[in-house]
Each structure stands twice: as C-alpha cells, then as structure tokens.
Amino acid sequence: GFETLQKASEYYKWDLSLPDIARIWRGGCIIRSAFLNDIAEAFESEKKLENMLLSPYFAHEIKEALKGWKTITAMCANEEVAVPAFSSALNYFYSFTSKNLPANMIQAQRDYFGAHTFERIDKPRGEFFHENWTGHGGDTHSGKYNN
C-alpha cells in the first residue's frame, strides 16, 4: 500500500508525506497498528525509501519471521486452508527479492502453444530453444532459430 501511495505521489506530484499518513492511520483508522509507528519511522529516517522491505528495520523483521511465515503458509496450503493475505504477501516478497522471476514461464507457454522458442538461464543470452512438449509434432529445434 505505501509503495502504491509513493508511486502515485511521484506520478501525480502530490507530495504525500508517508510518515504522516502512517501516523494518521495509527490514530483513527481500522488498520490501527503499532507497526504504523515503525512504518512512519522508516520513511522519516530514509526520505527516498522506495520500499519498506529495504529499510533496515523491516529487512531484519522479515528475516527473523521468514521461516515461520513460509512454514505456516505451506501448512495451510497442504491442509487446503485459504490464507490469501499470507500467501499474497509472501509471493510479493519473493517477487521483490528473487533473482529469477517466473516470467520465463510465459516463454515456455508460448513455446508450447506456438513453437515461439525460449531462452534458458543456464545458456548465453540470445540462444533459443524449442521443446517438443507433447512428444508429437515436427522437427522444429533450436538450431533453426539460432542461424
């Protein structure tokens, strides 16, 4: 939420004060939380903080909680208990901190449906491959795309 507010403030030139917003919410909003003080402090101490995950305080807190967070989310998934806030937040964290994102799955889907080829992360950029995903089809192979 704060990242969205920050991006909108920059885009629309609103000059929002994120520490003030955190304080306002602390005082009279349904999402009142002691954490809002920590949010306000994070944005006050680093004026150009792009994401709370980058603040030393929140980076430490998440590092401490990550194992339990993953465990409880996995346990809930295994027991078919919906925890959308936990799983969405965990996936957001993964997308923010992962070296490789699942966008390469789009390449695999395009290759499956239309032989559009894909790149592999263990090979040099610009080297394309095609997989015969179903075991049926012609002789399309990566050599035809690399020439």
**DSSP one-letter string for 66-108:** HHHHHHHHHHHHHTT---HHHHHHHHHHHHHH-SS-TTHHHHH
Which residues have C-beta within 8 Å of that of residue 20, sequence separation ≥ 6?
40
Q: Which of 24-28, 60-64, 91-95 shows the lowest per-residue confidence on average (mean pLDDT)?
A: 24-28
Q: Under a CB-based contact definition with an 8 Å cutoff, are residues 145 and 131 in contact?
A: no
Rg (CA), the chain: 22
In this structure, the number of other CB atoms found within 10 A of the CB of residue 10 comes to 11
Burial 37-47 (b: 16+ CB within 10 A, else e): ebbbebbeeee
The DSSP letter of residue 129 is E
Chain segment 31-81, per-residue pLDDT in tens: 667 788 898 999 999 988 989 999 999 999 999 999 999 999 999 999 999
pTM: 0.63
For residue range 114-124, what is the model confidence (pLDDT) as tens digits? Answer: 888 888 889 99
Angle at Cα 10 formed by Cα 9 and Cα 12, nearest 5°?
65
Domains delineated in the chain:
1-49 (no CATH), 55-98 (no CATH), 104-144 (1.20.5.320)
